[in-house]
A and B are shown apart, each in its own frame.
Chain A
Amino acid sequence: GQQVMQIPQYQHVQEGEDFTTYCNSSTTLSNIQWYKQRPGGHPVFLIQLVKSGEVKKQKRLTFQFGEAKKNSSLHITATQTTDVGTYFCAGQWGAQKLVFGQGTRLTINP
């Protein structure tokens, strides 16, 4: 079936350290999207990746889509306390519904 596996489940870092979360699908995706959910909040769209090998940057955040369009990563450079939350990847396979990964919960020690 259509599944997206995401690791790690949890990540605790010191403020200023880098953070990376990875997503993998066993089948080729149409696109992959990334969302951030703050504690008690709802998912907020960050970015969509569509093209094979695509790399997009948003300030300290770097998003990559694999050449085979089966995996993706989100890297945050020099984390800040405002980065706290759970980061989800979500895949689409042509249909409109999103299939979310399990999320990576990021906590930061100031």
Chain B
Amino acid sequence: GAGVSQSPRYKVAKRGQDVALRCDPISGHVSLFWYQQALGQGPEFLTYFQNEAQLDKSGLPSDRFFAERPEGSVSTLKIQRTQQEDSAVYLCASSLVYDTQYFGPGTRLTVL
């Protein structure tokens, strides 16, 4: 009965470093979403998987952002050469197909 888990919960990176953020969805959830939430704003869609297939990556802000879900379960969001504007909370959500999205606690990324 565990919910969506994300790790790490907090990440501090120096500008130019690469980071990898992990999401463990609810067991059995086919759909997995990544959102970015800047301070004081609503979450913004980044990308979406159905099983291992990345069906929508229209929200990824640049080619420095890459997401994968190779076995249709755990997903990793990778950001290369981090910039200060990448500082935000990265939220993962999972769901059954066309069902309620359940959000994880997020990873707060701070780029110095």
- Chain A interface residues (CB < 8 Å from chain B): 6, 33, 35, 41-45, 48, 88, 90, 95-103
* Total residues of chain B contacting the partner, CB 8 A: 22
Do A42 and B42 have beta carbons less than 8 Å apart? Answer: no
Which of A43, A97, A101 contacts B103 (CB under 8 A)?
A43
A43-B91, A96-B33, A103-B42 known; 9 new pairs, CB 8 Å cut-off, are A6-B42, A42-B91, A42-B103, A90-B42, A96-B98, A98-B33, A99-B45, A100-B35, A100-B42
Which chain B residue has the least Cβ–Cβ distance from A88? B42
Do A43 and B43 have beta carbons less than 8 Å apart? Answer: yes
Do A45 and B102 have beta carbons less than 8 Å apart? Answer: yes
How far apart are the CA atoms of A110 and B91 in the complex, in Å? 31
Do A44 and B103 have beta carbons less than 8 Å apart? Answer: yes
> Which residues of chain B are within 8 angstroms of A45 by Cβ–Cβ distance?
100-102
Which chain B residue has the least Cβ–Cβ distance from A2? B45
> Which residues of chain A are within 8 angstroms of B106 by Cβ–Cβ distance?
42
How far apart are the CA atoms of A5 and B1 in the complex, in Å? 35
Do A98 and B101 have beta carbons less than 8 Å apart? Answer: yes
Which chain B residue has the least Cβ–Cβ distance from A6? B42
Do B102 and A100 have beta carbons less than 8 Å apart? Answer: no
Which of B56, B97, B100 contacts A97 (CB under 8 A)?
B56
How far apart are the CA atoms of A102 and B43 in the complex, in Å? 8
A101 to chain B, nearest CB (A): 6
Which one of A43, A95, A100 has the greatest number of beta carbons of chain B within 10 Å? Answer: A43
Within 8 A of A (CB), among B92-112: 95, 97-98, 100-106
